[in-house]
Structure 1
Amino acid sequence: MLKHEQIEDTLIAAAKQQGLGLSGKDLLDIRTKVAATLAAKERYKQRVNSTGAFQWNKPAPPRR
């Protein structure tokens, strides 16, 4: 799996190759979106590989 630094560097290099100037906000957006995407990918992988199925049980009525 690619590391987030490699993904960020690739996106920045592609933007510069297209002649786009990146401001500090653009760099921050790239870093946050890459981090959020990789975190979502990891959560999905954990969900798919989890053992056992989730079984919801109806809560017991309160004791009065």
Structure 2
Amino acid sequence: MMKRETIEAVITEMASLQGHELNGRDRLMVRNRVAACLAAKERHRQRMDAEPYQWRKPERVRR
């Protein structure tokens, strides 16, 4: 998996190649969106790797 810094650097470089100059707000938006995307990807991976859920009937409560 690619590192966060690498992805951010590629996005900013592509923007500069297309003639866009990113200000601080734009760079913050790029950092936040890349971080959110990678976090979602990690959550999805954890869900896919988890054991399948198996419901069990609750044991009888003693009174």
Q: Do they superpose with TM above 0.5? A: yes
TM-score normalised by L of structure 1: 0.82
- Unaligned stretches of 5+ in structure 2? 58-63
Following the alignment from structure 2 to structure 1, what is the Cα–Cα distance between the partners of residues 56 and 15?
A: 47
What letter matches 1:32 in structure 2? N
Residue 42 of structure 1 corresponds to: 42
Aligned residues: 58
Identity in percent: 42
- Unaligned stretches of 5+ in structure 1? 58-64
TM-score normalised by L of structure 2: 0.83
Runs of 4+ in 1 over 6 A off after TM superposition: none
The CA deviation at 1:56 is 8.2
1:14-61 CA-to-partner distances (Å, cap 9, x unmatched) read: 00000001010000000000000000000000001101225387xxxx
| Alpha-carbon spacing, 1:56–1:22, altered in 2? closer, same or farther (3 Å) | farther
RMSD of aligned alpha carbons: 1.8
